[in-house]
Structure 1
Amino acid sequence: MTDTDIRLVVLDMAGTTVADDGLVEKAFQAAADALGVEVGGPEHERMLAHVRLTMGESKISVFRHLFGTEEKAQRANVAFEAAYHGLVADGHCEALPGAAEAIAELRAAGRKVVLTTGFSRATQDQILQALGWESIADLSLCPADAGRGRPYPDMALMALLRTETDSVRQLAVVGDTGYDMLTGSRAGASVVAGVLTGAHREERLRADGATHVLGSVAELPGLLGA
């Protein structure tokens, strides 16, 4: 348990509170197809490795890096989001065990909870609707709401401003990727907690600034003394 007075908890979605189930990689395949990248070829494998390495980063930023021009990045992003939306609509979207209960417990203890993502607003909203989570948190944010996505601190700091939290020392940032940890540490959060239900393992999480590593988000209320 931590004695820090945490008033605001910023939670990642895919891999942290929502099961990923390989959906990002499946949707990336559609993006690669749209840009004519041969499946299984060396270029495809190089790109897939980068997607895995940068899990948590704003998806349009990833595509800008991979495809080089804004026009290609936008085409890839459109294909990615269409594929991801289709997978969610087909029922490939579920909450991680204990996630909804943890959020409810945090809010019952008087803490604000904000859900963040590297996806677009349209994709984020679709996931929330599929789970029936439209009102589960105090706020939800995507990169476009804040300026820049992860690993920059913008979404965490926007959450602080929008919830009128007094200090970054009252902030906890929680996620499953190194990019989440960088976001938390750069935002000055007192608690930067990694969870082992998603993309990156403990070594990467700690290297990128995790103050705590949890088996899952279900352990978070206990850590914060909720």
Structure 2
Amino acid sequence: MIELVVLDMAGTTIEEHGAVYAALGDAAREAGATIGAADVQHWMGADKETALAGLLRTGGRPEPAPETVGAAFDRFRTLLAAAYGARPPEPIPGAADTIAQLRASGVKVALTTGFTRDVAEPLLASLGWQNGVVDAVVCSDEVAAGRPAPHLIHRAMERTGVFDVRTVLSGGDTVVDLVSGHNAGAGEVVGVLTGKLGRAELERHPHTHIVPGVADIPGLLRDRARA
């Protein structure tokens, strides 16, 4: 029986129109990185400071100085805020209903993200998701390492009082979401197709299911219960 569903935010439960992808790439390029779309996609879902450091190393460049990464991260936050102001994020279709349905059935729901808390909270507030909509929110600056490390999922378990990782379903739209769920030992690792990657790309990485979106997760749990 699944006790906890842990879901990524941007691209999985929140449609932010590619703003994270664009802001991350622009911030890295402004800091001197020579990168393409595939380089940025490689780091999607990861902690954003880690991602920027990785992008700045692209092409065999030396390890960037901490202050360079910090400045790039500040620029990323500025670019992202401007993008969200111009085109506000909105829930992925079916996400809000899915969260409510899961919780009504007794399944806890946590959101995890590669954003720091100061980036995540305004985003959640813009959707009206900051007050009891989910059981926990875990951000990248609250764990020792972000995805693909398992720590975001394990911290979500800690905050929701779930002990057995086999009773956890982890869902996300990026490769590192799937690898993080696998590394955590989650009983179900679900890829969703509402992000930048297609089925064939996600299927190359550890998973138990690939579904069109989070609205399909309650059905997966019903099928699991009948099996």
Partner of residue 41 from structure 2, selected from 52, 55, 80:
52
Listed one character per residue, the Cα deviations across residues 71-111 of structure 1 (whole Å, up to 9, x for unaligned) are 21111111001111222233431111100000000000111
2:118 aligns with 122
Alpha-carbon distance, 1:210 to partner: 1.2
Amino acid at match of 2:200: E
Is 1:65–2:62 an aligned residue pair? no
Equivalent-residue separation in structure 2 for 1:208 and 1:157 (angstroms): 20
8 Å Cα contact 1:102-1:217 kept in structure 2:
yes
Q: 1:203 aligns with which of 192, 200, 204?
A: 200
User: After the TM superposition, which residues 133-144 of structure 1 pair with which residues of structure 2 at under 5 Å, given as runs?
Assistant: 133-135=129-131, 136-144=133-141
In the alignment, structure 1 residue 101 sits paired with structure 2 residue 97 = yes
Report the AA paired with residue 53 of structure 1: H
Match of 1:159 in 2: 156
The match for 2:210 is 213
1:143 and 1:156 map into 2 onto residues whose CA distance is 11
Secondary structure of the 2:109 match is: strand
Q: 1:12-62: CA deviations, max 9, x gaps?
A: 01110011312023212541354255xxxxx243xx421112211111111
8 Å CA contact 1:34, 1:75 repeated in 2: no
Asked if residue 11 in structure 1 is aligned to residue 34 in structure 2, the reply is no
Task: Give unpaired runs (5+ residues) of structure 1.
Answer: 38-42
1:173-212 to structure 2, matched below 5 A, reads: 173-212=170-209
For residue 223 of structure 1, what is the aligned residue in structure 2? Answer: 220
CA RMSD of aligned residues (A): 1.6
d(CA) in 2 for partners of 1:154 and 1:213? 23
Percent identity over the alignment is 39
Please give the secondary structure, in 2, of the residue aligned with 1:60. Answer: helix
**In the alignment, what sits opposite 2:60?**
none
Give the gaps of 5 or more residues in structure 2. Answer: 57-62
TM-score by length of structure 2 reads 0.89
State the SS of the aligned residue for 1:50. helix
Between the aligned partners of 1:214 and 1:33, the Cα distance in structure 2 is 34
**Alignment TM-score, normalising by the size of structure 1:** 0.90
Rounded to whole Å, the distance in 2 between the matches of 1:55 and 1:33 is 16
| Post-superposition CA distance 1:193-220 (Å, at most 9, x none) | 0000102222232222110011111111
Query: In 2, are the aligned partners of 1:57 and 1:179 still within 8 Å (CA)?
Result: yes
Judging changes above 3 Å, is the alpha-carbon distance between structure 1 residues 35 and 112 closer, same or farther for their aligned structure 2 residues? same
Question: What are the within-5 Å matches in structure 2 for residues 70-81 of structure 1?
Answer: 70-81=66-77
- Tell me if structure 2 keeps the 8 A contact 1:88–1:130: no
In 2, Cα distance between equivalents of 1:23 and 1:130: 15
Q: Distance in 1 between matches of 2:135 and 2:188?
A: 19
Tell me the matched-pair count: 215
Runs of 4+ in 1 over 3 A off after TM superposition: none
**More displaced stretch, 7-16 vs 19-28:** 19-28
